[in-house]
Structure 1
Amino acid sequence: PRLAPHLLARQARLRPDKIAVDDLTHRLGYADLDGAAGRWAGLLAARGVRRGDVVGVCLRPGAAALAVLYGVWRAGAAYLPLDPAYPPERLAFMARDAGAVAVVAQPDAPDELRQAVGRVIDGDRAPTEPAGFPAVAVTPNDTAYLIYTSGSTGRPKGVAVSHGALANLLDGMARTTGARQQDMMMSTSAWSFDMSVPELFLPAAVGASVVVAPRAAVSDGIEMLRLIRRTGTTWMQATPSAWRMLLDAGLERGEVSTAICGAERMPVPLAADLLATAETVWNFYGPTETAVWATAARVTEPEHARLIGRPLPGVTVAVLTAQGLPVPRGAIGELRVGGHGVAQGYHDRPTLTAERFPPDPHRPGGRVYRTGDLVRLRADGEYEFAGRADDQMKVRGYRIEPGEVEDAVLGSGTVRSVAVVTLAGQESSSLVAYLVPGDGFDVGELRALLRDRLPGQMVPTLVTIAALPRLPNGKVDRRALSARAVTGPSAGVAFAPAEGPREEAFAALWSEVLGVTRVGRHDNFFALGGDSMRALRIAQRAAGQGLTIEPADVFTYQTVAELASAAGRPGTWEETPPPQAQVSAADLRKVRALRARATQGE
């Protein structure tokens, strides 16, 4: 397969004027995108970037930022996505750990990041170098990108993916899903999340166009539906919770032709609803270490949601025991992935790389990845997911190692012991830290510390407990913790009623959505039974009352008081609060009209 940098150059020759990327503010044709990439490559080369280097990219997603990614490749380097929403310390750690020689960043990039890297290039100023910078020749073995995932030792680890593995992914996805140049694709994933990779680069593989959704729209089902209709999106991949958000917002049959679900288990009810909406439904599976996706299942019946399907072209899989021996067909074993899609390993972590990427016995010089996922091979040749062999978790599509979160909690110095688990809600999972408090413990201070150290998806609900349950061998009984009901007030906080109109409005919304009779200003959304889908409903219903929040805000500001303080609002809201809107999933379109009238001053 052609390497991704070559795909852009090819489309620039074949379809120079066709729209390559549109972020609703800027639109670039293939020739324009190729020219912008050349100018960025020339600037990076002038700043000392050479083949094999790593360049950090800390920019808001958009057309101009995509040109930077292609420019990094044209300069012969690998890109390191740095989410501007991440805590500054984490951004600085990733840049240092990756050995980034430069960072293309927004003007408001944190000082910690600037101090971690010697060269910081202003990403808001388009370079003036000539567009015809000759591309540095890269091979399939050169690194294309470095994406960091949660680390079990408390330290994030960078996964290095080669151009060859990326090319195999794009070719395999195009052939499997039947993507074509007439498609309008939608990119909704954060660029630090590996699901963004095919969203951004598959279009150039087939000559299609991509719309980069604004961040505010991604977490708002109504806005996303409006965007899909406005742009004529035909091809889209998303997590199960994002698809559910769109369906609740009123996604209708035929509005999206190809629906790809991945990163978490697909619920059977979701599969049924997508089958009634999209022409083609897929369930994709794959860890970051296998270049995003390794297998795909065509979903034609709701029960197929349990399947992860068959390997993509160029990928091999095997189901083995912990000792590496084959298991009988139908028996459960660990899935190992081989072939051309396997990552190069963990950056600067040779011991861990050797452990997780053993030699491929069927491919001299190749390696396989031990996924830690348990699967079974069915009689019909389809693979079925059966769980994890360790404590690794998935929350909102993000892979989370509990050890990293536990280290952050213990780092406060006010917690004696802690165990982090996931609790399964009706429609999605949430992250909970059961902790034994020590001297000086304050839940508010601990939550603020975690927000400063961890990405939003890794900040857990805090629940105090007298002692952690133990197994006979002395280990923490995580299964017992996961089975506990968390339906009380926040850890260590006495009940206090909501104060002021905004807090009262949020308390009423929480009571309605969560089905609890009393909600205090310090009560925790997840401790009361909240989950990802309920966070989406809170945001959607708040919009009908003139309160502007994103579902992600509920994960960051988990109490009524915190969320009310963080919520945006019209300037006169507190003086003249509108009546509470009762907006059901079927009536969510009415909220659009409310927003339009508010915007027009009606």
Structure 2
Amino acid sequence: MESIFNNTLVDYPKETSLHSLIVKSAQNYPYSIAVKFHERSVTYTEFNKTTNRIARVLIEQGIKKGDVVGLALDRTPEMIMCLVAIMKTGAAYVPLDPEYPKDRIEFMLEDSGAKVLLTSQKYKGHYAGNTVEVLIEEALAKSENYPAEEPEVEVTGKDLAYILYTSGSTGKPKGVQIPHGALVNLELSMQKKPGMTPADKILAVATISFDIAGLDLYLPLVTGAQIVLADSLTAKDGRALLDIVRSENITIMQATPYTWRMMLEVGWNEYLPLKVFTGGEAFPKDLAEKLLPISKEVWNLYGPTETTIYSIIKQITDANDITIGWPIDNTQIYIVDEQMQNHTDGEIGEILIGGAGVSWGYWNREELTVEKFIDNPFSDIPGDKIYRTGDLGKYKPDGDIVYLGRIDHQVKVRGYRIELGEIEFNLGKQPDIKDAVVVAREDTPGMPRLVAYLTLPTGQVGVPESTQITNWEQALLAVLPEYMVPDDWVLLESIPSTPNGKIDRKALPKPDYSHINRTGEYVAPRSDNEKMVARIWEEMMGLEKISIMDNFFQLGGRSLVAVKIMAKIEQETGKRLPLATLFEYSTVEQLAARLEVDEASISWKSLVPIKPQGTKMPLYIVHGAGLNVLLFNALAMNMDDEQPVYGLQARGLNGVDEPLDVMEEIAANYIEEIVAHDPIGPYAIAGYSLGGMIAYEMAKQMLAAGKDVKLLAMFDTYAEQTTKFDSPLKKSLKGIWLLAKQIAYTPVLFMEDPKRTIEYKSRELGRKVTKTFKKIFPDKKKKTVFSDYNNEIDERSGKAQRNYLLTPVNIAVELFRAKKKTFYMEDTKLLGWAPYALKGVHVHEIPGEHNTIFAPPNDKQFAKVLQECLNKAV
């Protein structure tokens, strides 16, 4: 019997391929911008012609209708073009995010039987297997000689468009097969409601390995609208996203609740004419309350990968009435009991989804496909399938659907669908773990955390030792994405069970979130300031009952939460404190006492004591592009007890002192404070990213002044020479050549120092956008110091770097190089330092990528190697 609420039948071109709709957009809007990425814009004509040429290269490579092609490219316009080009060959693509673990990607390639892997020079030979590699750089060069007309391949709505892998309960991902017709139905339905027009701009942030990217990329392309593409690091930076929304006049953005929270936390409080699409996980009431007043529209979108991205949608107008709404076109929803009786009377049951969006099932997983994709008991069409979501829901009287969570223990955390069984499976392979159960807890509203409950052969209970946690985290990171690594770990004597022997997940104890290195017994706040600071820490850190003796860093405090804490304190007290205050005043008691001091006496010196105690030669570390020295704390705390560590933060953070924009002056300013602190030496200087260039100039000046510089360390700094002093012709040729290589590797198209990572470049772009926006619309409201991090000081530091001429120095460079490369470099071995360090470059490879080398568990190995270098230098 058909549900009374499933009157969704709409005529649509079910025999049409997805890319044929994109071709129509190119015909209707040939000169409109299809994709914008940083400073580069691609018109619909250019986009379509390029996809045709790439498709022809792939066809010549032997790709034909029905084949499978893997795609592992960084987020650039070429990534989107290649997705469409693959479809134009008649093949199906497997989206592979290069940030995912190597083993996971190799499994997907092997399991899917991909005939070709379309990737870039950056990842050449990186993935093991029998798949033939086609490099996009070579394909683009070769395609210039190919016709730009559409390939003569007939692709219909019944052909496969992509295979997307999701987390699997057996420990291996499972591939979902989506045909063209299902995508066409989704895009055309969503084009009408929530709605998109050719005048819209959508900010695309979802990774291609997340199915919602299919809306980010294809809805605008079939509409004639514009995609503003965020690179992978910008997509994780709430401030950078907010800057782009403002500067690019973005009208639509789709993101998970986690991303929307990030944007709110960095200062979004003014109205923006933005359609908010939220999906991927349940939409919390408190988030709706914040988004509704400052957005044009807010839409809640629901749907599993298996039914083509989204199946049910609703515009949210009241935060007290958050439901998932009604089915999209040609989609049927049933809420059934165990006997498959359809509940239209408000009874709770499992959500079943039928209609045009239902996929073909799981690739090479026939048994699981039979289990989840069953014959539709409500349809008279032979062979019609319906998908069992495993989600609970109920109907309201008007057909509006209320989502009530999972039947099983598949969860969503920060927008990612996670099979907890996959984490448990991999933990169970560790020799020192007996049993493992993983759950998602939300003990603090809006802050879901993965918690691993373990039993060990040793019988150990309580909180694991830090070395144990590090070992388990590293083992998981080798095979799972970072978002699947537990946040908290609890050791139990035994896993609780129900009377019938099943795991009793409800009986698993709440973790003691306040256990982390508490100093002595709990001491309650006494003064008003202590109560305020404790309350803010508890709120921002998601902890309970913080003692006034608790240490910020030992509680797990990091840079981002420090920014929030200091901004909140300034908001409530009017007093502005440097982030570095937390080094010296790291307990609730100390920070509260610091607030009692006259604001005029607060120090904004560049030299910051991170770990001042110890008898060894001090190490002075210069800030990176983010200007924040707090991230050096974990490194310092893992070094010898007798090793002093100081940080150097930028001048001007107080909003009073004038920031410097000449490299020699910045270096001289830092040297002055170091020498005032230690007039004799010897000295050990280090710099992170941009700070490496400053440290180099500091060492140069100190040597010229007769100072004894024992060590100069670069923390993943690339030595890129300025082009300021080149002739116009040479500068032009260098620029063209660099541009070509950036397109091929990390296509960031504005001419900046390439030693910085994609993250730095993204934030630099955000700062420029912010500066332009402020010139046009000056904000007269008081700003917190933290907003300056991405604005004037960084702008001036960038100017200093662009104008700085590297010259050889009679010194050795200790180069701490990130193991994982995330951006294009001419010299991947010595990072360009060989011509400038006349005494040689000594390389030390550090686990992690550019912006995670200081994060646990990488900080421990980093500290060990750095300490050995310091000891050897003395």
Q: Shorter-chain TM-score category? A: 0.7 to 0.9
| Closer, same or farther: CA 158–568 of 1 in aligned 2, 3 Å | farther
What CA RMSD, in Å, does the superposition of the two structures yield over aligned residues? 3.5
When residues 156 and 560 of structure 1 are mapped into structure 2, their CA distance, relative to the original with a 3 A threshold, is farther
1:457 aligns to what SS in structure 2?
A: helix
Question: Which residue is equivalent to 1:428?
Answer: 447
Q: Residue 563 of structure 2 contacts residue 579 of structure 2 at CA under 8 Å; is this kept in 1? A: no
**Equivalent in the alignment of 1:271:** 288
Alpha-carbon distance in 2 for matches of 1:543, 1:21: 40
Alignment partner, residue 377 of structure 1: 395
User: CA offset at residue 540 of structure 1?
Assistant: 10
> What is the match of residue 174 of structure 1?
191
- Judged with a 3 Å threshold, the aligned counterparts in structure 2 of structure 1 residues 510 and 320 are, in CA distance, closer, same or farther, namely same
1:68-83 matches, within 5 Å, as 68-83=82-97
CA distance in 1, matches of 2:160, 2:579: 47
Instruction: Give the match for residue 124 of structure 1.
Output: 137
Q: Distance in 2 between matches of 1:33 and 1:9?
A: 10
| 1:200 equivalent in alignment to 2:217 | yes
Residues 291 and 342 in structure 1, CA contact (< 8 A), matched pair in contact too: yes
1:538-553 to 2 correspondence within 5 Å?
546=623
Which residue identity is paired with 2:425? D
- Which residue identity lines up with residue 95 of structure 1 in the other structure? L
Q: Distance in 2 between matches of 1:539 and 1:212?
A: 32
Aligned residue for 1:420, secondary structure, equals strand
Contact 2:624–2:687 at 8 Å: present in 1 too? no
Distance 1:371 1:315, change over 3 A: same
- Deviations 1:430-449, CA, capped at 9 Å, x for gaps: 11111123369933222111
Cα distance change, pair 364–252 in 1 and its aligned pair in 2 (3 A): farther
Whichever residue aligns with residue 282 of structure 2, its letter is R
SS in 1 for 2:20: helix
Structure 2: stretches of 5+ with no match in the other structure: 1-12, 461-466, 521-535, 569-576, 581-622, 640-646, 648-685, 700-781, 802-874
1:260 aligns to 2:284 (yes or no): no
Shift of 1:248: 2.4
Count of matched residue positions in the alignment of Structure 1 and Structure 2: 566
1:319 matched to 2:338? no
Deviations 1:293-340 (A, max 9, x none): 0100110111232x0000011111000012311225111000000010
Matched, 1:143 2:148: no
- The reply to whether residue 353 of structure 1 matches residue 369 of structure 2 is yes
Q: CA deviation at 1:195?
A: 1.0
Whether contact under 8 Å (1:56, 1:80) holds in the other structure is yes
Match of 2:776 in 1: none
Mapped partners of 1:539, 1:312: distance in 2:
45
The answer as to whether partners of 2:124 and 2:133 remain within 8 angstroms in 1 is no
Question: Which of residues 419, 426, 448 in structure 2 aligns to 1:408?
Answer: 426
Deviations 1:445-494 (A, max 9, x none): 2211111111111111333233222222222221222644443239xx99
- Whether contact under 8 Å (1:435, 1:464) holds in the other structure is yes
Please state how far the C-alpha of 1:148 moved relative to its aligned partner: 0.6
Q: In structure 1, how many angstroms separate the alpha carbons of the residues matched to 2:157 and 2:166?
A: 23
Aligned residue among 550, 557, 565 for 1:518? 550
What CA deviation, in whole Å up to 9, does each residue of 1:549-600 have, x standing for no partner? 8xxxx9xx999869x9998673369999xxxxxxx99775343334334434
Alpha-carbon deviation of 1:536?
9.5
- The answer on whether the counterparts of 1:524 and 1:559 sit within 8 Å (CA) in structure 2 is no
Equivalent residue, structure 2, for 1:338: 354
Distance 2:22 2:48 in 1: 7
* Residue 454 of structure 1: aligned partner: 480
Equivalent of 1:161, from 178, 188, 205? Answer: 178
CA contact (8 A) 1:188 1:218 kept: yes
Residue 23 of structure 1: aligned partner: 37
Classify 1:466/1:383 alpha carbon distance in 2 versus 1 (closer, same or farther; 3 Å). Answer: same
Partner of 2:191, secondary structure, is helix
Partner AA of 2:366 in structure 1: P
Measured in 2, the distance between the counterparts of 1:463 and 1:255 equals: 43
Matched, 1:65 2:98: no
User: CA 1:285 to 1:395, structure 2 compared with 1: closer, same or farther past 3 Å?
Assistant: same
Matching of residue 474 in structure 1 with residue 501 in structure 2: yes
Matched, 1:88 2:88: no
User: What is the match of residue 691 of structure 2?
Assistant: 570
Give the superposition deviation at 1:544.
Answer: 7.1
1:393 and 2:591 aligned: no
Q: Distance in 2 between matches of 1:261 and 1:449?
A: 33
Aligned residue for 1:343, secondary structure, equals coil
Letter in 2 for 1:410: G
Q: What residue in structure 2 maps to residue 505 of structure 1?
A: none
2:267 pairs, out of 250, 261, 273, with 250
Superposition TM-score, scaled by structure 1 size? 0.86
Deviates more, 1:413-422 or 1:103-112: 103-112
Q: Please give the secondary structure, in 1, of the residue aligned with 2:503.
A: coil
Give a deviation string over 1:180-222, Cα, whole Å, max 9, x none. 1100111000110011111000012211010111222111111
Distance 1:344-1:409 versus aligned 2 partners, 3 A rule = same
Q: Which residue identity does 2:347 align to in structure 1?
A: A
Q: Secondary structure of 2:156's match?
A: coil
User: What is the SS of the residue equivalent to 2:105?
Assistant: helix
Counterparts of 2:161 and 2:100, CA distance in 1: 22
Is the contact made by 1:83 and 1:191 (CA closer than 8 Å) also made in structure 2?
A: yes
The one-letter amino acid paired with 1:242 is T
Q: State the match for 1:216 in structure 2.
A: 233
Other structure's SS at 1:348 match = coil
SS across alignment from 2:25 = helix
Distance in 1 (CA, whole Å) between partners of 2:64 and 2:567 is 47
Q: Does 1:310 align with 2:326?
A: yes
What is the distance in 1 between the residues matched to 2:566 and 2:359? 38
| CA distance in 2 between partners of 1:158 and 1:379 (Å) | 37
2:790 pairs, out of 582, 592, 595, with 592
1:270-313 CA deviation, whole Å, 9 max, x = no partner? 111211011111000001111000100110111232x0000011
Q: Which amino acid aligns with 1:518?
A: D
Q: Is contact 1:19–1:29 with CA below 8 Å preserved after alignment? A: yes
Task: Report how far residue 250 of structure 1 moved.
Answer: 3.0
| Contact kept? 2:567, 2:784, Cα under 8 Å | no
Distance, in Å, in 2 between the alignment partners of 1:133 and 1:539 is 57
2:277 aligned counterpart, secondary structure: strand
Distance of 1:163 and 1:543 partners within structure 2: 54
Q: Identify if the C-alpha distance between structure 1 residues 560 and 454 changes in structure 2 by more than 3 Å, giving closer, same or farther.
A: farther
User: Which amino acid in the other structure matches residue 24 of structure 1?
Assistant: H
Q: Give the distance between the partners of 2:153 and 2:108, measured in 1 at CA.
A: 25
Q: SS at the partner of 2:142?
A: coil
Please, which moves more after superposition, 424-433 or 71-80?
424-433
* Aligned-pair CA distance for 1:63: 0.5
Q: What amino acid maps onto 1:73 in structure 2? A: M
Counterpart of 1:284, as a letter, is: L
Three-state SS of the structure 1 residue aligned to 2:294 is: coil
Q: Distance in 1 between matches of 2:20 and 2:62?
A: 23
Which secondary structure does the structure 2 equivalent of 1:303 belong to?
A: coil
8 Å CA contact 2:265–2:564 kept in 1: the answer is no
| Residues 367 and 304 (structure 1), Cα distance of their counterparts in 2 relative to 1, 3 Å cut | same
CA shift digits 1:70-128 (9 cap, x unpaired): 11011111111111011111100001001100011122327462x32431011234143
Q: Which runs of 5+ in 1 are unaligned?
A: 496-508, 577-583
- Match in the other structure for 1:417: 435
- Structure showing greater relative contact order (alpha-carbon pairs closer than 8 Å, 6 or more residues apart): 1
State the alpha-carbon separation in 2 of the partners of residues 543 and 261 from structure 1: 35
